[in-house]
């Protein structure tokens, strides 16, 4: 794989968290581009099922490994994509210490691996480093508004620490690093019960259950289809950019409007039910993607209705839903 922004040639990549939602799509896209892939995962929130279809493809290996322990990869490595970490609120609230450990120790070990191999390192950071933002839309030079002792801090602060560690390795250890701040991404292989808004609404709509909207649903999110996010991450990986770089869709939607769109696309007549809003739930979320557009030539291409349609169709197949709802989701 050769990047546009540099003459970087990537023959072999390590993807930590490669059996998770985003990691499995990254493994697949890298293999499609002729890159050998070592997928490292301890299956804490991911599953071997996510990469089962890749087994047997030339150059693909899965290594069961906890990044917070000893990490070793024999042979050359040109790129380390560090994606290991619980990412959904349900997961990281259940696994607070594990989340902090993989953000700290796991990042340290992944950086050590990149240093040993002379590989480029890309950290999967998150829009959550902006917390409940006081700047809108969020630009990369905004420092954020995070509660360090709130329930979400285990994730937000782990990622902020991971960004600091990555920057320190770049400045004091000479590792070629990039930081990507990913905004809400959705698509096939999300878990129906992972607690994030899109899989929850889709599951509820397909089951004919009420769609549970937090608060009055006026809080906003910006959602990006997984293929676009993966293209953005790989564009950064192939460049020399240190970042941080926002990758996300700048089209902002309220959570209520999102629920209504999903209900319609799924052909469901579920009612909307308003439930209590979680502590420190951000009120707004929207990336400024000027940097990604200007420096990486990246912008999202898949319209939300199309991405949601594909995702609903995948969930319907996964959950064994047939009939009108499946046809509606597939656009039939």
Given 3, 20, 131, 178, the residue binding ligand NAD (CB under 6 A): 20
Q: CB neighbours (10 Å) of residue 188?
A: 18
> Binding segment for ligand NAD among 82-90, 250-258, 264-272, 317-325 (CB under 6 A)?
82-90
Residue for token pair 């059996």: 19
Copy the structure tokens of residue 150: 């709130």
Under the criterion CB under 6 A, does residue 326 sit at the interface with ligand NAD?
no
| 155 belongs to the catalytic site | yes
CA distance 295 to 210: 43
Residues in region 188-207 near ligand NAD by CB under 6 A: none
Q: Are 309 and 265 in contact (CB under 8 A)?
A: yes
Q: Which is nearer to ligand NAD, 46 or 89 (CB)?
A: 46
> Binding segment for ligand NAD among 61-69, 256-264, 299-307, 316-324 (CB under 6 A)?
61-69
DSSP 3-state of 58: coil
Q: Are 114 and 175 in contact (CB under 8 A)?
A: yes
Q: Are 295 and 241 in contact (CB under 8 A)?
A: yes
CA distance 55 to 162: 31
Select which of 92, 155, 186, 225 is catalytic.
155
Residues in region 103-162 near ligand NAD by CB under 6 A: 106, 124, 126
**In the bound complex, what is the minimum distance in angstroms from residue 146's beta carbon to ligand NAD?**
14
> Binding segment for ligand NAD among 20-28, 53-61, 208-216, 298-306 (CB under 6 A)?
20-28
Copy the structure tokens of residue 251: 């089209």
Q: Which residues bind ligand NAD (CB under 6 A)?
A: 16-17, 19-23, 41-46, 66-68, 83-87, 91, 102, 106, 124, 126, 182, 184-185
């Amino acid at each position: 794989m050769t990047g546009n922004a540099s003459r970087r040639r990537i023959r072999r990549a390590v993807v930590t968290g490669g059996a998770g939602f985003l990691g499995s799509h990254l493994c697949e896209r890298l293999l499609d581009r002729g890159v050998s892939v070592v997928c490292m995962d301890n299956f804490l929130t991911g599953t071997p099922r996510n990469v089962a279809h890749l087994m047997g493809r030339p150059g693909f290996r899965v290594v069961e490994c906890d990044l917070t322990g000893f990490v070793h990869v024999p042979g050359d490595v040109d790129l380390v994509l560090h994606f290991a970490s619980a990412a959904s609120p349900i997961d990281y609230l259940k696994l607070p210490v594990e989340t902090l450990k993989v953000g700290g120790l796991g990042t340290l070990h992944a950086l050590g691996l990149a240093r040993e191999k002379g590989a480029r390192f890309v950290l999967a950071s998150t829009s959550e480093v902006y917390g409940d933002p006081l700047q809108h839309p969020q630009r990369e030079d905004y420092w954020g508004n995070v509660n360090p002792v709130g329930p979400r801090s285990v994730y937000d602060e782990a990622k902020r620490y991971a960004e600091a560690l990555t920057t320190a390795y770049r400045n004091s250890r000479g590792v070629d690093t990039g930081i990507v701040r990913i905004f809400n991404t959705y698509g096939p292989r999300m878990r129906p019960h992972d607690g994030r808004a899109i899989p929850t609404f889709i599951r509820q709509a397909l089951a004919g259950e009420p769609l549970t909207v937090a608060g009055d649903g006026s809080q906003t999110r910006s959602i990006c289809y997984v293929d676009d996010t993966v293209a953005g991450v790989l564009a950064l990986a192939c460049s020399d950019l240190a970042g941080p770089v926002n990758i996300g869709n700048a089209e902002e939607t309220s959570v209520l409007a999102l629920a209504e769109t999903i209900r319609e696309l799924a052909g469901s007549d579920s009612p909307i039910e308003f439930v209590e809003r979680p502590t420190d739930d951000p009120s707004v979320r929207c990336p400024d993607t000027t940097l990604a557009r200007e420096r990486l030539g990246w912008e999202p291409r898949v319209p939300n209705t199309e991405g949601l349609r594909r995702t609903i169709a995948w969930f319907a197949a996964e959950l064994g839903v047939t009939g009108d709802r499946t046809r509606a989701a597939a656009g039939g």
